[in-house]
Amino acid sequence: MKLRNERWDDARFAETRKAVLAKWPVGATIDIEEAFAFHRNLPDSCKAYKVFEKAREEGRILLQPRHGDTLIEDQIETLQYIEKHGGADILSTEADAYSRQLRYDLAEKGLEESRAAGRSLICGTPLVAHGVKEMRRIVEAVNVPSSARMASSDSRLPREIFLAAGYSYILTGALQNVSYEKDCPIETLIEHYQYEDRLVSVYEANGAPIVKEFPATLTGTLVPPAIALTTSIIDAILAATQGVRQVVLGYGMLGNLVQDVAALRVMAELAREYLDRHGLTHVKVYTAGSHWMGDFPHNESHAYALCSLGTTAAALAGASQVIVKSLHEAFGIPTKEANAAGCRATRETLNMLRGQRMEEGPMLRQEMEILRAEVRAILDRTLDLGDGDIAQGAVKAFAAGVIDVPFSPSRWNAGKLMPVRDRLGAVRMLNWGNVPLPKEIAEYHRKQVEERARFENRPMDYQMVVDDVFSMSRPSVPVSQPAYH
């Protein structure tokens, strides 16, 4: 393979950039030197790296909700409302589905139809259709950093637009897209994101530091913490090699308090360890806990409870940030009111838990030891497969099933790993396929699932997997009131 985990030289980057900007007419409008100056002139309150540094000094956890409207006016109205009434620390713009699938023609058509209708008609913000000047209106309309949230097999041109518009926080690494992409090879994903990360390093070198989040593989089901942590750490190493200097490793909360706290702590610890191993000691590491990323409850009270549970884990783990869900998650695109309410509930939970951390008792210590052993086994095997090169190793690890994302649509994912919950709700592996679990850890998973099967008097089968995927949206406490609308 030609793919290597090596920093792109200037010539390769410049040649590739010319091709990227030529993909759609909007590329010709990007003035990168002007973009550098715009970033440098932003107030510190709108620079993500400054906000993260200050929050770490103050021991404060940041909040970032997610939202994306088709029309710029609608997006501005929503973000200003969430800033004022929700107290968000970072405000995000979700790219539209057409742009994520590289259907820029349909994104432009959707924008035209939305303008004609006077309301947003597509899911997300069609930034490629809007262009830099329009997207910058969003950045200038708020008093906190703007975050660009987009997962795609090829987000190179959209990322050029986001960065040129002044977004100082961007999301997604190569391996996250294994959760979404069916036909894009792992090698191609990594190469595309090497370009994106090299672009971030160019901004960094010109006085415009960018924070980049790697939210792990999120299939909206149960992704065992070891798999989530492994993919985030690999993405962070790949990005840092290209020159990204501020990384946020994301983790989707699974619902068992001890396991989620363990995952967030071990993720920060092992990210630091493996970055340092690669000589990337200068990179700053932050962590983000995402509220439950799977099927959401329809009832308002249960949705509040689920958000508060995830917030509690983030607080007790000492995370840097919470990615906030709304009460409307089960129904589609949330309203500005629901998004703000989710932020207020999250902030209030954090305030109640201010300064508290979960002590490392026997249960937490055991969970952390298990995770360390699992993640190190997978990462070290990945490095072995690549003869020390993490990029080549990642491609070969997916091919061998060493890294295996449950319920991924990717043709390059083995799909043998089957996750289930144990008796206490922690996520274990019913079948781990070719994931190189240490023998004693594999036996632990088997025993934990067997204990639950005996307790519930049921077989350890695929139905258990299905039940657990939907467990968070099927409340244990019945309610008589109608679903929340």
DSSP structure string for 324-376: E--TTTTTSSPPHHHHHHHHHHHHHHHHHTTT------HHHHHHHHHHHHHHH
Six-digit token string for 155: 């987000």
pLDDT value at 185 more than 70: yes
pLDDT value at 474 more than 90: no
Strands 418-421 and 427-431, sheet pairing:
antiparallel
pLDDT value at 483 more than 70: no
Percentage above 70 pLDDT, the chain: 97
In single-letter form, the type of residue at position 134 comes to E
Our CA angle for 201, 39, 112, nearest 5°, is 100
Instruction: Compute the average pLDDT of residues 254-267.
Output: 97
Please tell me the predicted confidence (pLDDT) of residue 1. 52
Q: How confident is the model at residue 92 (pLDDT cuts 50, 70, 90)?
A: very high
Taking the alpha carbons at both ends of the chain, their separation in whole angstroms is: 52
Instruction: Compute the average pLDDT of residues 7-31.
Output: 97
In single-letter form, the type of residue at position 309 comes to L
- Mean residue pLDDT across the chain: 94
Contacts for 49 with CB less than 8 Å, ≥ 6 apart: 168, 209, 210, 211, 246
pLDDT value at 119 more than 50: yes
Lowest mean pLDDT among 140-154, 238-252, 471-485: 471-485
pLDDT value at 71 more than 80: yes
Q: How confident is the model at residue 141 (pLDDT cuts 50, 70, 90)?
A: very high
CA–CA separation, 138 and 15 (whole Å): 31
Q: How many CB atoms lie within 10 A of CB 108?
A: 18
Q: How confident is the model at residue 410 (pLDDT cuts 50, 70, 90)?
A: very high
pTM for this one?
0.95
pLDDT value at 283 more than 80: yes
Q: For the packed helices 186-205 and 225-242, what is the interaxial angle rounded to 10 degrees?
A: 50
Instruction: Compute the average pLDDT of residues 175-203.
Output: 96
CA–CA separation, 43 and 439 (whole Å): 53
Please tell me the predicted confidence (pLDDT) of residue 481. 45
Residue 319 DSSP symbol: -
CA–CA separation, 362 and 369 (whole Å): 10
Instruction: Compute the average pLDDT of residues 352-379.
Output: 96
Instruction: Compute the average pLDDT of residues 77-84.
Output: 96
Please tell me the predicted confidence (pLDDT) of residue 476. 62
Distances (CA, A) of 333 to 117, 293, 483: 18, 14, 16
Contacts for 43 with CB less than 8 Å, ≥ 6 apart: 143
Six-digit token string for 45: 């309150």
Instruction: Compute the average pLDDT of residues 291-312.
Output: 88
Please tell me the predicted confidence (pLDDT) of residue 63. 97
CA–CA separation, 167 and 215 (whole Å): 18
> Which domains does the chain show, CATH number per domain?
10-352 (3.20.20.240), 375-473 (3.90.970.10)
> Is 214 in contact with 356 (CB distance < 8 Å)?
no
Please tell me the predicted confidence (pLDDT) of residue 333. 77
CA–CA separation, 128 and 421 (whole Å): 41
CA–CA separation, 351 and 195 (whole Å): 40
Lowest mean pLDDT among 91-100, 122-131, 325-334: 325-334
Burial of 483 (0-12, 13-18, 19+ CB in 10 A): exposed
Q: b or e along 119-133 (b: 16 or more beta carbons within 10 Å of the residue's beta carbon)?
A: ebebbbbbbbbbbbe
